[in-house]
Structure 1
Amino acid sequence: MADTPAHTGDGQTAPRPGAPVSLSVVVPVHLVQGYLRQCLDSILVPDVPNLEVVAVDDASPDHCGQILDEYAARDPRVRVRHLERNVGLGEARNIGLDMATGDYVWFVDSDDYLTPDAVPAVLERLAETRPDVLLFDHAREYWHGKVKRGTGNDLFRDPPAPEVFTCAERPSVLKMMMTAWNRAIRRQYLVDLGLRFGAGYYEDVNVTYPVLLAAERISLLDQVCYIYRQRRRGAVTRTASAKHFDVFDQYDRVFAFIDAMGADGERFRAPMFDRAMWHMQLILERGDRVHEEDAPRYFERMAQTYARYRPAGHELPDGEQAAKKYQLIEKNDYRGYQRLLARKPPSRKPAKAATSMFRKRKRAAVNVAKRTGLRQYYKAQLRMPIDENLAVFAAYWHRGYSCNPAAIYEKLRELAPDIHGVWVVKRENVKSVPKGVDYVVRGSKDFWRVMARGKYFVNNVNWVDDIVKRPGQVHVMTHHGTPLKSMGLDQMKYPASAKGMDFKLMISRADRWDFVVSSNPLSTEAWERGFPCKYEMLEVGYPRNDRLARATDAEKAELRKKLGIPEGKKAVLYTPTHREYQRSFRPTFDIRRFARELGDEYVLLMRAHYFYKPGAGQWDPERVIDVSGHRSVEELCIASDALLTDYSSIMFDYAVLPDRPIVLFVPDWETYQLTRGTNFDVTAFPPGAVAHDEEELIKTFRSGAPWQDEAVTRARAAFRARFCPWDDGHAAERAVRRIFLGEQVPNPPEAP
């Protein structure tokens, strides 16, 4: 006989404990494009049909809306609402709640994510206990990679909890973090209570406490289900602002709810009062939330709240310090409160002596200069005015004139000829600098002068640690490729990639950046996530690809002649990437055999990664031309007829050329993913044909598939549309106009 449904007090018919339940996960979204995919992927576990994601795009000005639509298009469990104006986190949650259809609702912040088994575990516990509220644990993930379980997790087990209980039976649940994301709430119960999230910084409070106070059935899940990301920057609750005064209004609403409960609410007044005072004191004492000049007024508001809501007969808390604080708040004695805090033993490590980053870097730079005999000269130059018309360029650790910095330099000479550009190169690379381009040798007296006096600094890697970034100087990071592989802080998860890396030093270097040039939405997401620093993202296309966008047949013919490519042959550019798990360059296929099997119709242009030196004389010069030392990879792209690569970022540049096939050779894709990490599965969304072993690779070319197969052509077009949307030949111009001329440019540009 089938189970008979049970009836709940709110008029709903609910299955008995153990029957399946459905879950709506509400995700408000705003300015989180670097984290949104991880959040959604963590929720959308496969084979869970009784799950829906209600995503509310809160008029996010970045690519969040497109990312949500992408997920909705491929997973019917995702529903998206795009708002025309920004309404804030609280109202976005309310909109999501109104859209939700599940038995339970879970509010998840879009820059956080769930643990791998969180959704199944939560659904199982909900089905077992059918609570009004299910509470579960969380962990904090810090920007430097440390993950720490939330404090107070002993509340889940000390003392042992029954399957279900009320707040009166276990008031310690009020001490759990007052957020919306560490609980699943029965949807109809929440709707019937009439609770709505408020505006402001503490929009959770007037919902998260009342749902516990009124619940007839509360259940616990002693498991970390939620990862709360402690972002290095951007957390509003860790920003000093008068908006923290919002906490008083939110607790007014909580106590109004208690009043509306009548006699049943009185038993909660004392524990709720203590919790409110704890929270208000925490905000004041953290030091990074209330401006110093606002602190007396904040304290006065706290004293007013104390007088208004302190229950009759309320006893002071245990502990001399805590009791004294209450007494000082009651008397509105802010000065006494300050004196008490000053006597309090520090709970954290004492702050280091205040020293500006400028002075720290100046000392480090001077020490290095001292070792080279240039200390006094460099110190003197640092005291000289910044040259407003001096721009300093470098690329690939001072290896020469190339890449995005070179493209920006050339456009700068055209649009702002009054700004003088100087390149920094190593002594052994001086000959690579084109005629007419001014340069200085790294480490020379002229080098220290331009590094001290320059206004603009453009590089595709970081400058040396020894330099000082003076106030008023502008640093531009262009990077040197679209990141298929994980970069920056994302590398911490992959030991082979992270070996020997100092991530704190990496981020301190990135703190210098004022502008980051991004080629496409994928890059923007990866740079924001991998380098969470304060800079302006310029998603304007890749300057170095302007040349590819404007390439002509005449230029191709000239470059082929220059490279010695025989007339009538198809030139295949081969560009293998660096593999962290290999110590030296080892081809993943037999290059001699490959060139021989292709026949006389082909010639292979061998371009080894700049980390390696493949050596001369390894291959038949009639079939393989070693172009590893060629100055411009853009010229190689234009001269060739097809690209053969594995995981190199050159595939994203090459796709700018609309009529050139791309073939991926991926025999170690799984190994590469595990050791380096990737931002998407390029084998599932490739730029062309994909070969997994040597036989398949040879067959791909001999069959003519790269040029003739319609599926391959469609794949290349889709890849180009996704990753080359702004490479229209004007990326360098947009960068120069924004950075050097101070103009506002479309960012990102309008789609063609």
Structure 2
Amino acid sequence: MKYTIIVPVYNRTNEVAELLQSAEQLNYNRDNFEILFVDDGSSDELGKFIHSYRSESNLAIRYIYQENTGPAEARNNGMANSSGDYFLFLDSDCLLPPQWLNKIDSALAEHQYDAFGGPDTFHDSFSPLLKAVNYSMTSFIGTGGIRGNKNSFERFYPRSFNMGISKNIYKNIGGMRLRYYGEDTDFSARIYEAGYKVGLIPEAFVYHKRRTSLPRFFKQITRIGMSRIVIGKLHKHMLKPVHLLPAFLILGLLFLFVLTILIPAIFSWFWIPTFFGFLLICLLAFYQSYKMYQNIKISFLSIIALNIQVFGYGYGLLKGIWKFKIKKTALENL
């Protein structure tokens, strides 16, 4: 067995059904890979669905159950029970293009990566909201290209929505050590620090549905912002001023608001340039999104998603600084 695809799942049976339907279309030898679902204490009868599922293309599917301890521990459990020489991590809300494993195969043959990852993108069937969230999460002004863009402002760190490692890495450095806050980024950093060869495979993308509502998206982004502070405590070089820009933006706006109350005459000096700067960024987001999707509705939603991402991430950074820097919450149980 060359690959074990490890998918942690918590109450997402509907997503698993869609993921399996896309996996049926993989044009790759069925003897060379398996799909291992790790049930993190679901209550929606995931196990019953998996055991009753009949693959139309002879997919090798396995299922294990654990008490609810989080996605990182589910991935660790999956690695401990895998048969493959490589472990491939997917989120349950991903769909696979038919060539996904072939692209990984070709890149490994050419580059001999020890660890690797690919980008995430949208599928044509996604709703306008999901496409807007995809724009926000993959655009340079949204994330700086860190999720699989060749033009990223920093080194590529594979993320667990589309990530692979060799079995030797797991044997030598163990599994993920954080439960919820940046567990995959910390894992990738440890892989780099251990001297392994890590690479981006741009062609090995997945379709990522992500969150299905704006409030859930805000909650997810807030957690990501908090995780950046955790990662910075564990790996000093991974927390730079550029990562803190959304937090500086929030603090700057609060400062301007208070200053304007105290000195109303300065309103035009600061708020008018701030408004036009904000408007320019929104217009740029609209243009980029429209160029990508050719859809006005999605372009307007992209502006909303981008603002939720920036302010949610900034709020998460500030929350993380308070929790992990000021209150000094221990990281061992995260």
TM-score, structure 2 as length reference: 0.62
Asked whether 1:343 is paired with 2:237, we answer: no
2:7 maps to a residue whose letter is V
1:538-687 maps to which residues of 2 (within 5 A)?
Answer: none
Give me the whole-angstrom Cα distance separating, in 1, the residues matched to 2:147 and 2:10. 34
**Bigger-Rg structure (1/2):** 1
Give me the whole-angstrom Cα distance separating, in 1, the residues matched to 2:227 and 2:198. 28
Partner of 1:223, secondary structure, is coil
Matched with 1:133 is 115
CA contact 1:133–1:212 (8 Å) conserved in 2 = no
1:442-481 maps to which residues of 2 (within 5 A)?
Answer: none
CA contact 2:148–2:202 (8 Å) conserved in 1 = no
2:34 maps to a residue whose letter is E
Give me the whole-angstrom Cα distance separating, in 1, the residues matched to 2:257 and 2:217. 23
Partner of 2:14, secondary structure, is coil
Q: Sort the Cα spacing of 1:178 and 1:27 in 2 relative to 1 into closer, same or farther, 3 A.
A: same
Among 162, 167, 171, the residue aligned to 1:187: 167
Partner of 2:30, secondary structure, is coil
Matched with 1:66 is 48
- Per-residue CA deviation, residues 341-360 of structure 1 (Å, 9 max, x unaligned), is 9927122269xxxxxxxxxx
Give me the whole-angstrom Cα distance separating, in 1, the residues matched to 2:111 and 2:22. 24
- Per-residue CA deviation, residues 510-542 of structure 1 (Å, 9 max, x unaligned), is xxxxxxxxxxxxxxxxxxxxxxxxxxxxxxxxx
Give me the whole-angstrom Cα distance separating, in 2, the residues matched to 1:136 and 1:203. 17
CA contact 2:181–2:230 (8 Å) conserved in 1 = no
1:196 maps to a residue whose letter is M
- Per-residue CA deviation, residues 446-496 of structure 1 (Å, 9 max, x unaligned), is xxxxxxxxxxxxxxxxxxxxxxxxxxxxxxxxxxxxxxxxxxxxxxxxxxx
Asked whether 1:33 is paired with 2:17, we answer: no
- Per-residue CA deviation, residues 688-733 of structure 1 (Å, 9 max, x unaligned), is xxxxxxxxxxxxxxxxxxxxxxxxxxxxxxxxxxxxxxxxxxxxxx
Among 127, 134, 140, the residue aligned to 1:143: 127
Asked whether 1:232 is paired with 2:209, we answer: no
Matched with 1:566 is none
Matched with 2:64 is 81
CA contact 2:117–2:158 (8 Å) conserved in 1 = no
CA contact 2:4–2:35 (8 Å) conserved in 1 = yes
Give me the whole-angstrom Cα distance separating, in 2, the residues matched to 1:73 and 1:154. 32
Q: By how many angstroms is 1:70 displaced?
A: 2.7
Among 192, 206, 222, the residue aligned to 2:186: 206
Matched with 1:564 is none
Give me the whole-angstrom Cα distance separating, in 2, the residues matched to 1:70 and 1:88. 25
Q: Sort the Cα spacing of 1:240 and 1:24 in 2 relative to 1 into closer, same or farther, 3 A.
A: closer
Give me the whole-angstrom Cα distance separating, in 1, the residues matched to 2:170 and 2:102. 22
Partner of 2:203, secondary structure, is strand
Q: Sort the Cα spacing of 1:76 and 1:280 in 2 relative to 1 into closer, same or farther, 3 A.
A: same
Q: By how many angstroms is 1:124 displaced?
A: 2.6
Give me the whole-angstrom Cα distance separating, in 2, the residues matched to 1:157 and 1:242. 25
Give me the whole-angstrom Cα distance separating, in 2, the residues matched to 1:235 and 1:23. 36
TM-score, structure 1 as length reference: 0.30
Q: By how many angstroms is 1:239 displaced?
A: 1.5
CA contact 1:39–1:113 (8 Å) conserved in 2 = yes
Among 226, 229, 235, the residue aligned to 1:254: 235
Matched with 1:666 is none
Q: By how many angstroms is 1:69 displaced?
A: 1.9
1:198 maps to a residue whose letter is L
Among 48, 53, 69, the residue aligned to 2:30: 48
- Per-residue CA deviation, residues 594-653 of structure 1 (Å, 9 max, x unaligned), is xxxxxxxxxxxxxxxxxxxxxxxxxxxxxxxxxxxxxxxxxxxxxxxxxxxxxxxxxxxx
Q: Sort the Cα spacing of 1:213 and 1:241 in 2 relative to 1 into closer, same or farther, 3 A.
A: closer
What is the number of residues matched between the two proteins?
257
Matched with 2:4 is 24
Q: Sort the Cα spacing of 1:348 and 1:123 in 2 relative to 1 into closer, same or farther, 3 A.
A: same
Q: Sort the Cα spacing of 1:191 and 1:28 in 2 relative to 1 into closer, same or farther, 3 A.
A: same
CA contact 1:93–1:197 (8 Å) conserved in 2 = no
Partner of 1:34, secondary structure, is helix
Matched with 1:223 is 203
Partner of 1:230, secondary structure, is coil
Among 119, 135, 153, the residue aligned to 2:101: 119
CA contact 1:72–1:79 (8 Å) conserved in 2 = no
1:162-561 maps to which residues of 2 (within 5 A)?
Answer: 174-176=154-156, 179-233=159-213, 238-239=218-219, 245-255=226-236, 269=237, 272-274=238-240, 277-282=241-246, 284=247, 335=255, 343=274, 345-346=277-278, 347-348=281-282
CA contact 2:5–2:90 (8 Å) conserved in 1 = yes
Give me the whole-angstrom Cα distance separating, in 1, the residues matched to 2:52 and 2:207. 24
CA contact 1:88–1:199 (8 Å) conserved in 2 = yes
CA contact 1:143–1:230 (8 Å) conserved in 2 = no
Q: By how many angstroms is 1:77 displaced?
A: 2.0
- Per-residue CA deviation, residues 186-242 of structure 1 (Å, 9 max, x unaligned), is 221243123414122433221123323444423332315211113323885621898
Asked whether 1:98 is paired with 2:64, we answer: no
Partner of 1:239, secondary structure, is helix
Matched with 2:89 is 107
Give me the whole-angstrom Cα distance separating, in 2, the residues matched to 1:337 and 1:93. 45
Q: Sort the Cα spacing of 1:200 and 1:96 in 2 relative to 1 into closer, same or farther, 3 A.
A: same
Partner of 1:238, secondary structure, is helix
Give me the whole-angstrom Cα distance separating, in 2, the residues matched to 1:242 and 1:94. 25
Give me the whole-angstrom Cα distance separating, in 2, the residues matched to 1:185 and 1:146. 29
Give me the whole-angstrom Cα distance separating, in 2, the residues matched to 1:129 and 1:224. 14
CA contact 2:91–2:162 (8 Å) conserved in 1 = no
Matched with 1:290 is none
Q: Give me the CA root mean square deviation.
A: 4.0
Q: By how many angstroms is 1:96 displaced?
A: 1.0
Give me the whole-angstrom Cα distance separating, in 2, the residues matched to 1:235 and 1:215. 40
Q: Sort the Cα spacing of 1:140 and 1:31 in 2 relative to 1 into closer, same or farther, 3 A.
A: same
Q: By how many angstroms is 1:246 displaced?
A: 4.5
Question: Which structure carries more helix by proportion?
Answer: 2
Q: By how many angstroms is 1:278 displaced?
A: 3.9
CA contact 1:28–1:57 (8 Å) conserved in 2 = yes
Q: By how many angstroms is 1:139 displaced?
A: 0.7
Partner of 1:26, secondary structure, is strand
2:127 maps to a residue whose letter is W
Gaps of 5+ in 1: 1-20, 159-171, 256-268, 287-294, 297-324, 326-332, 351-502, 505-752
Gaps of 5+ in 2: 140-144, 260-269, 285-296, 299-334
1:181 maps to a residue whose letter is F
CA contact 1:201–1:237 (8 Å) conserved in 2 = no
Partner of 2:235, secondary structure, is helix
Q: By how many angstroms is 1:285 displaced?
A: 7.8
Give me the whole-angstrom Cα distance separating, in 2, the residues matched to 1:27 and 1:96. 8
